[in-house]
Amino acid sequence: MKKLLVILLAISSVAATAQKITVGAKHFNEGYILSEIIAQLLEENGFTVDRKYNLGGTMVCFKALKQGEIDVYPEYTGTISFEILSSGKNLSVEEIRAQLQDMGLAVAPPYGFNNTYALVMTEALSKEKNIHNISELAQHPQLSIGVSYEFLKRQDGWDNLSKAYALPQAAVGLEHGLAYSALTENKIQITDAYSTDGEIIQNHLTVLEDNQKFFPDYLATSFYRPSIGEKAESILKKLTGQISEREMQAMNAAVLYEKKSFQQVASDFLREKGFVAGATTETSTSIVPDLLSKTGVHLKLTFLALLLAIGFAVPLGVVLYWHPKPARYVLYLVGLLQTIPSIALLAIFIPFTGIGQLPAVLALFLYGLLPILRNTYTGLQGIDPVLKKVAIGMGMNRAQRMRLLEFPLAIPFILSGVRTAAVISVGTATLAAFIGAGGLGEYIVTGLALNNSSLILRGAIPAAALAILIEIAFEILERIFRPAYLR
């Protein structure tokens, strides 16, 4: 009996040690840093951590958390109040906690800083136009405003802000990481900012006073599933009140301007606070293994989707050739899929499939259908009617004509469609990083968030090279698979 008890205790101990927690992050600089702090703190306390960074935005992260695709990610009380709970008012942490309980979710005590939204402009323009608060923007309708895509339509974002202040300007959307470059280059004059952004000091920007107190408090906190267990919850609570606004600004600036990795910045912070023992050490790893790994994931996503599209679209093209009446409507319906924005299509799948590679493959599959289906149908329809009559005169049935004559003649058209679908998939697969699917898009998305052109190129150049190689490969395949008597 004692031996059995010892064995059971040993098994439970191993299970506890091996518990895996998935940490998510939105695709912006501060999100990466805070998520990495959470991840490293959990790892230091014996947990295995799976990182799913670059998730598209608030609702993508929230849906992933609610469905158990991730276990924790950093969020802000204002965002939870307005975007997730749709409360219409700024809720306290206690009120948020009470409402989230019914959803099976929870928030930890805040980290200690308030990262509220703000509108910013250059100090020089602020002095020139004598603009110091948001209300004064109404007197300058000529000013160009560009804000992050998420801020455009949030309840506490541009649409309601412009109504509250009666602002005449029309804002355009752009990536938050690119907004500061556009601002300093005078392509826009005003943008949204987070009050802890390192760019505010670096670019000599003026934060316009929110004189009507429109923006709610955005206290940063850990948003998590209680199923992570009491030990993990107690670890998250260690961060309570540990990060000031000045410290967060400094960490953001270290990544953006000192070009430190967010992993290193998170490690430095944990050591300075005494959460991790030992001296700070800069770790440098070769990018080659990581690049090869992400390229492998990218190719996996592309060719899985391509194989599915071929397996579905080619037989469907044959059926439509045999029964042409519904062909026009089917092609029209499949064509409509091409009009859905890629990131929107990816997000549509999340409630049904969760985040990761499955929704990415499904979205790429749908985008690959049209060129393959259209080329299969067109290739078969375009065969010389005289040849068809000769085949019928020889006594061939429908299946024999397809196998021996029609399909071989249509192969160049079909391969052309497959080639087009493959190139589309390679490009579109970069967006899969927004839902945690991995691939070369991770470099591009992270580079956009950090305004790091080298990271963007690290993903863009291999993706472009893959597209070129696929073009060449399919040219060779067309020569190989074309029957000798058709060459």
Q: What is the mean pLDDT of residues 3-11?
A: 48
Q: What are the pLDDT digits (tens) for 161-196?
A: 999 999 999 999 988 778 888 998 999 999 999 888
Note whether residue 281 is domain-resident: no
- In this structure, the answer to whether residues 256 and 383 fall within a common structural domain is no
Give the sheet arrangement for strand 191-194, strand by strand.
191-194, 117-122, 205-207
108 and 186 in one domain? no
Task: With cut-offs at 50, 70 and 90, classify the pLDDT of residue 485.
Answer: low
The number of distinct structural domains making up the chain is: 3
- Which residue reads 């305004």 in tokens? 451
- Nearest-angstrom CA–CA distance, 138 and 212: 14
- Residue 18, pLDDT score: 58
CATH code for the domain of 315: 1.10.3720.10
In this structure, the answer to whether residues 121 and 109 fall within a common structural domain is: no
- Encode pLDDT of 125-160 as tens digits: 999 999 999 999 999 999 999 998 888 888 889 999
Q: Is residue 404 part of a domain?
A: yes
pTM: predicted TM-score of the whole model, two decimal places:
0.74
Residue 426 CB coordination number (10 Å): 28
- pLDDT band at 6, cuts 50/70/90? very low
Whether residue 458 is found in the same domain as residue 377: yes
Would 421 be classed as within a structural domain?
A: yes
Kindly report the number of other CB atoms within 10 A of residue 322's CB atom.
Answer: 10
**How would residue 278 be classed by pLDDT, with cut points 50, 70 and 90?**
low
Residues 299 and 401 in one domain: yes
In a domain, 427, yes or no: yes
pLDDT in tens, 33-88: 999 999 999 999 999 999 998 887 788 899 999 999 999 999 999 999 988 998 88
Same domain membership, residue 140 and residue 106? no
**What does the pLDDT look like over 106-128, one tens digit per residue?**
999 999 999 988 999 999 999 99
Mean pLDDT of all residues belonging to the chain: 88
Quick one: 264 and 304 in the same domain? no
Residue 7 pLDDT > 70: no
Identity of residue 274? G
Ranges of H-type helices in 229-326: 230-236, 245-256, 262-272, 287-322
- What range defines the domain where residue 479 resides? 287-486
Give a yes or no: residue 11 inside a domain. no
* Amino acid 232: pLDDT: 96
Indicate whether 14 belongs to any domain: no
Residues 367 and 450 in one domain: yes
Over the stretch 413-424, which tens digit does the pLDDT of each residue have? 899 999 999 999
Average of per-residue pLDDT across 400-408: 87
Per the CB < 8 A criterion, the answer to whether 318 and 414 are in contact is no
Q: What does the angle CA 418 – CA 420 – CA 426 come to, to the nearest 5 degrees?
A: 100
Q: Tell me, what's the pLDDT at 285?
A: 55
Compare 183 and 278 and report the one with higher pLDDT: 183
| pLDDT for 92 | 92
Same domain, 179 and 317: no
Identify whether 10 is part of a domain: no
β-partners of residue 445 are none
Residue 482 has pLDDT above 80, yes or no: no
In whole angstroms, give the CA distance from residue 34 to residue 13: 29
Do 313 and 446 lie in a common domain? Answer: yes
**For the residues 272-280, what does the mean pLDDT come to?**
77
Distance (Å, whole) CA 105 – CA 84: 12
**Quick one: average pLDDT of 91-99?**
94
- Same domain for 89 and 148, yes or no, is no
CATH number of the CATH domain containing 48: 3.40.190.10
Copy the structure tokens of residue 99: 């409402």
Query: Whose CA is closest to 157, among 142, 173, 144, 179?
Result: 173
Give the amino acid at 117. Answer: Y
Max CA distance (Å), the chain:
89
Is the pLDDT higher at 377 or at 11?
377
| Per-residue pLDDT, 487 | 58
Q: Which residue has the higher pLDDT, 40 or 89?
A: 40
What are the tokens at 331?
A: 């092609």
Give pLDDT tens digits for 370-390: 999 999 999 999 888 888 888
Residue 424 is assigned to a structural domain of this protein: yes
pLDDT for 228 equals 95
pLDDT of res. 14: 46
Least confident of 215-224, 297-306, 449-458: 449-458
DSSP string, 127-176: HHHT--BGGGGGG-TT--EEEEHHHHHSTTSHHHHHHHHT----EEEE-H
Lowest mean pLDDT segment, chosen from 175-179, 245-249, 391-395, 396-400: 175-179
Q: How many CB atoms lie within 10 A of CB 318?
A: 17
